[in-house]
Amino acid sequence: MRYFQKFLNVCSLLLLATCGTSQRSTPDQLPDGAAYYFSIFGDSRDGNDIYSVLQNRSVMVGRPLAAIHLGDMISTPKSSEQWPSFVSLTETYFENQRFYPVIGNHDVEDARSYDLFMATFPQLDTPGYEVEKIGDCFCIILNSEDLEVRPGVIGPTQMAWLETQLSSESAQNAPFRIVFVHRPPFPQHHHKDKPLQPTDELHELFKKYKVAAVFAGHEHSYARIEKDGIFYVVSGGAGSPLHADAGLDAAFYHYVQVSYLKPALQVRTIDHMGKVRDDFTIQLSTPSAPRAERIHESRSGL
């Protein structure tokens, strides 16, 4: 399996070198009428070649408004050598762009590895969960590795914070509310028996405040389900060893491109060869009654 993945990596790099930016295929073009776009990557550890290919593809259409990484950027949580390598690789493609990292289980496992993560991304809020405004999207980044509780659990403090953010005036006045987290509430493949907890409470909160979509990684494959009007997307194919048990239709290298088409978001999943593997639309959310506001300014750069 390892040798096959290396073969795929080499093929992808050769394809990208052959195509270049002057011979763009249809997936490397934004949808007609798109005002802006941002890119989502998940689980790139141990796959820098594929990660580079996907990043190259994501910028073929222009400068992304932002890039979100759904976690598992490195392999060893306590490695002080792997973080500089990841930052250098990411800066190459997202220099002067906004980059938002989500904490994954291979990124943080204890206080020491948490300190290394925060030293790498000092612009983050201390708990590892935060609010950002990306275009017309009110974005919430959650920390499924919160040291206050055990891994895979959103603890009471973070849950209370989450409801405060979702019920805020800023959130409810935004056309779209989107959540990013590493571990999926509704995993579909390799980790199907280990959903993010508390699953039901999280879903009810998302439903109550009309969250449009929840993007997660952790499973090294792709999946999309819709539950009570909320899109749950699992995107973990940015370079990490694929979970072959998900099957060929789900276990493929990819990134997600989210384009803003007034008044909707178009979401495309594009594989490392440039093929669109999924394409769906998120319609404008209906705002609820506004409540107390808490949001900080977006940041720029790494």
pLDDT digits (tens, 9 = 90+) for 193-222: 899 999 999 999 999 999 999 999 999 999
Q: Is 82 inside any structural domain?
A: yes
Task: Please report the pLDDT score of residue 176 as a whole number.
Answer: 96
CATH of the domain at 73: 3.60.21.10
Task: Please report the pLDDT score of residue 6 as a whole number.
Answer: 43
Task: Please report the pLDDT score of residue 24 as a whole number.
Answer: 34
Q: Is 173 inside any structural domain?
A: yes
Q: Is 293 inside any structural domain?
A: no
- Mean pLDDT score, 59-76: 92
For residue 95, count CB atoms less than 10 angstroms from its CB and return exposed for 0-12, middle for 13-18, buried for 19 or more: exposed
Highest mean pLDDT out of 57-61, 63-67, 84-88, 182-186? 182-186
Report the number of distinct structural domains present in the chain.
Answer: 1
Q: How do residues 136-160 score in pLDDT, each as one tens digit?
A: 999 999 999 998 899 999 999 999 9
End-to-end C-alpha distance for the chain, whole angstroms: 34
Distance, in Å, from the CA atom of 8 to the CA atom of 115, rounded to the nearest integer, reads 35
Tell me the three-class secondary structure of the chain, residue by residue.
Answer: CHHHHHHHHHHHHHHHHHHCCCCCCHHHCCCCCCCCEEEEECCCCCCHHHHHHHHHHHCCCCCCCEEEECCCCCCCCCCCCHHHHHHHHHHHHHCCCEEEECCCCCCCCCHHHHHHHHHHCCCCCCCCCEEEEECCEEEEECCCCCCCCCCCECCHHHHHHHHHHHCCHHHHHCCEEEEEECCCCCCCCCCCCCCCECHHHHHHHHHHCCCCEEEECCCCCEEEEEECCEEEEEECCCCCCCCHHHCCCCCCCEEEEEEEECCEEEEEEEECCCCEEEEEEEECCCCCCCCCCCCCCCCCEC
Distance, in Å, from the CA atom of 48 to the CA atom of 46, rounded to the nearest integer, reads 6
For residue 263, say if its preceding peptide bond is cis, omega within 30 degrees of 0.
yes
Q: Is 25 inside any structural domain?
A: yes
Residues 6+ apart with CB under 8 A from 4: none
Distance, in Å, from the CA atom of 252 to the CA atom of 169, rounded to the nearest integer, reads 39
Q: Is 291 inside any structural domain?
A: no
Q: Is 297 inside any structural domain?
A: no
* pLDDT band with cut points at 50, 70 and 90 for residue 279: very high
Q: How do residues 83-118 score in pLDDT, each as one tens digit?
A: 999 998 887 666 666 899 999 999 999 999 999 999
- Say if residue 239's pLDDT is above 90: yes
Distance, in Å, from the CA atom of 263 to the CA atom of 184, rounded to the nearest integer, reads 27
Whether 189 and 245 have beta carbons less than 8 Å apart is answered as: yes
Q: Is 156 inside any structural domain?
A: yes
Domain that holds residue 108: 2-283
Q: Which residues pair with 149 in a beta bridge?
A: none
- Say if residue 1's pLDDT is above 60: no
Residues 6+ apart with CB under 8 A from 45: 72, 73, 74, 75, 106, 239, 240
- Mean pLDDT score, 40-53: 95
Task: Please report the pLDDT score of residue 12 as a whole number.
Answer: 42
pTM, entire model: 0.86
Task: Please report the pLDDT score of residue 35 as a whole number.
Answer: 87
288 or 69, greater pLDDT: 69
Q: Is 290 inside any structural domain?
A: no
- Say if residue 269's pLDDT is above 80: yes
Return the structure tokens found at 104: 């994954």
Task: Please report the pLDDT score of residue 91 as a whole number.
Answer: 77
Task: Please report the pLDDT score of residue 28 as a whole number.
Answer: 64
- Say if residue 14's pLDDT is above 60: no
* pLDDT band with cut points at 50, 70 and 90 for residue 27: low
